[in-house]
Amino acid sequence: MKATNIVRTVLTAALGAIIFASCGKTVTCEKVEIVPKPQQVTMQEGTLKVNPARVEEKITYKTDAALGEEAYVLEVAPKGITITSSTPAGAFYAMQSLKQMLPADKSVKAVKLPCCTINDAPAFAYRGAHLDVCRHFFSVDEVKEYLDILALNKMNRFHFHLTEDQGWRIEIKAYPKLTEIGAYRNGTMVEKNWNKVDSVRYGGFYTQDEIRDIVKYAADRFITVVPEIEIPGHALAALASYPELGCRGEGYEVCPYWGVFPEVFCPGKEETFKFWEDVLTEVMELFPSEYIHIGGDECPKEEWEKCPLCQKRMKEEGCANEFELQSYVTRRVEAFLNAHGRQIIGWDEILEGGVTPTATIMSWRGTAGGIDAAKKGNKVIMTPNSYCYLDYYQSRDVDKEPLAIGGFLPVEKVYSFNPYEGLTKEQQQYILGVQGNLWTEYIKTFDHVEYMLLPRICAIAETAWTLNGRDYADFAQRMQHLRTYFDANGWNYAKHMFEKAE
């Protein structure tokens, strides 16, 4: 449902230029400045005075089934506030907008709101943010804080990257060694020095109860958690736990280095498929998401080339090369998930050996994979590294920045992304949405996560929610208000865009 956009800002809903003029003890919101920008704001005569702490008591809720699933109408009138939506999600987004019309300062007891009508709905159904909790681990409370940031930005998908070479982070009852062994590494490479590993044991994982807690916390904010279980690459933590699942069958360790490694799962063995199916069965019990992400990226093929079981499998299945063997894996895992009513998402590498029409592609190596997939009629989520990789530097003056993986992706560039570029109107319908990705090789603390996330995720949120009629100068203006919410919540954020404005 891509109706018109509305705004979704979580916190920012900086009311458009919501300038709060303070007269005496009453603060006046003079302009509606919300992030992401609503589709339509119509100003009216008059004002409404409210106590921010008790604003919900003034609200009348109405249902209009004609509105889109996440759409809402927010009316501020002299007599009170009315929120109209067809679903609780729409009402939630209206509240996020209203929140942004109120001052972040909780001590303010009276606010004069300008009368207005906001008609809003998102451009894209999938508005996502990803977090890698494998390279570095983040606590349940930190993940919840991440979800709060998404909610303020009216984002509705949290891509939870749970398995990697450097750590397996989700308890699986049928395979306890995944977390007894696979959740911990005996050291971590020091900064970018591949010859130096510290000797500090590092790790952690989420119990199934903790996962349920996170899923519920997200659902309460209308966010679906999309889990990612990497198949068939990025497998070292799993292989260290169950070496029999690799081609070589022994000698694996949870990896202390960043990168791409040749030791991947062996699809020549039936027990590997049993493992994936058992793991995914528990994953499906924990995550109600229709979509399960099965990775598929960065899977070197050299072990498969040497493995007699993999070669035998290729012969039996008529695979012309190892890329087609990966396609066989993807197809088989997809069929298993489809049989349980779920759909797969895979990184764009799953296109390489041929892909089923029902797989959804996450385009990360630029937009080419996504464009190719949309032309084939596959659904696509756009996460190109050129616009959506939030682990990249935010300034060229890297000496003043915390260590990052590389790149240069300032918020202006993030904001300039057009997910439809290169696609005909007909092909555009296959673009489900947009996502920001946050890989954490060089991000050890949650404070640093926030710094990389904010304000760039707000730019992605506005692309995903608003899409048309975006204007960077106008966004930057509204962000001045939204940042007051960052401050009030104690969230760390990059200040480059604000320094320029000053």
For binding to Zn ion (CB under 5 A), which residues are involved? 247, 266, 268, 307, 309-310
Q: Minimum CB separation from Zn ion for residue 377, in Å?
A: 32
Which of 39, 272 has the CB closer to Zn ion? 272
Q: Minimum CB separation from Zn ion for residue 231, in Å?
A: 14
Give Cβ neighbours of residue 179 (< 8 Å, ≥ 6 apart): 168, 169, 170, 171, 172, 205
Q: Minimum CB separation from Zn ion for residue 305, in Å?
A: 9
Which of 310, 333 has the CB closer to Zn ion? 310
Which of 303, 334 has the CB closer to Zn ion? 303
Q: Minimum CB separation from Zn ion for residue 309, in Å?
A: 5
d(CA 385, CA 436): 9
d(CA 147, CA 36): 16
Is the distance from CB of 252 to CB of 240 less than 8 angstroms? yes
Which of 249, 402 has the CB closer to Zn ion? 249
Q: Minimum CB separation from Zn ion for residue 91, in Å?
A: 52
Is the distance from CB of 188 to CB of 202 less than 8 angstroms? yes
Is the distance from CB of 36 to CB of 7 less than 8 angstroms? yes
**Residue whose structure tokens are 């983040």:** 138
Which of 247, 479 has the CB closer to Zn ion? 247
d(CA 281, CA 481): 45
Which of 247, 359 has the CB closer to Zn ion? 247
Of 466, 488, 463, which Cα lies nearest the Cα of 411?
463
Is the distance from CB of 94 to CB of 56 less than 8 angstroms? no
Q: Minimum CB separation from Zn ion for residue 297, in Å?
A: 19
Q: Minimum CB separation from Zn ion for residue 303, in Å?
A: 6
The rounded Cα 387 to chain-centroid distance in angstroms is 14
Which of 69, 305 has the CB closer to Zn ion? 305
Is the distance from CB of 50 to CB of 111 less than 8 angstroms? yes
Q: Minimum CB separation from Zn ion for residue 306, in Å?
A: 8
Is the distance from CB of 96 to CB of 155 less than 8 angstroms? no
Q: Minimum CB separation from Zn ion for residue 247, in Å?
A: 3
Which of 105, 244 has the CB closer to Zn ion? 244
Helix (H, G, I), strand (E, B) or coil at 436: strand
Q: Minimum CB separation from Zn ion for residue 300, in Å?
A: 12
Of 162, 260, 238, which Cα lies nearest the Cα of 204?
162
d(CA 404, CA 391): 6
Is the distance from CB of 76 to CB of 48 less than 8 angstroms? yes
Which of 247, 362 has the CB closer to Zn ion? 247
Which of 101, 310 has the CB closer to Zn ion? 310
Using a 10 angstrom Cβ sphere, with 0-12 exposed, 13-18 middle and 19 or more buried, the burial of residue 439 is: buried
Q: Minimum CB separation from Zn ion for residue 268, in Å?
A: 4
Helix (H, G, I), strand (E, B) or coil at 77: strand
**Residue whose structure tokens are 């304000």:** 455
Which of 309, 405 has the CB closer to Zn ion? 309
Q: Minimum CB separation from Zn ion for residue 310, in Å?
A: 4
DSSP 4-36: S-----SS----TT--EEEETTEEEE-S---SS
Which of 35, 266 has the CB closer to Zn ion? 266
Rg, C-alpha atoms of the chain:
24
Of 35, 6, 8, 25, which Cα lies nearest the Cα of 484?
35
Is the distance from CB of 359 to CB of 330 less than 8 angstroms? yes
d(CA 356, CA 22): 59
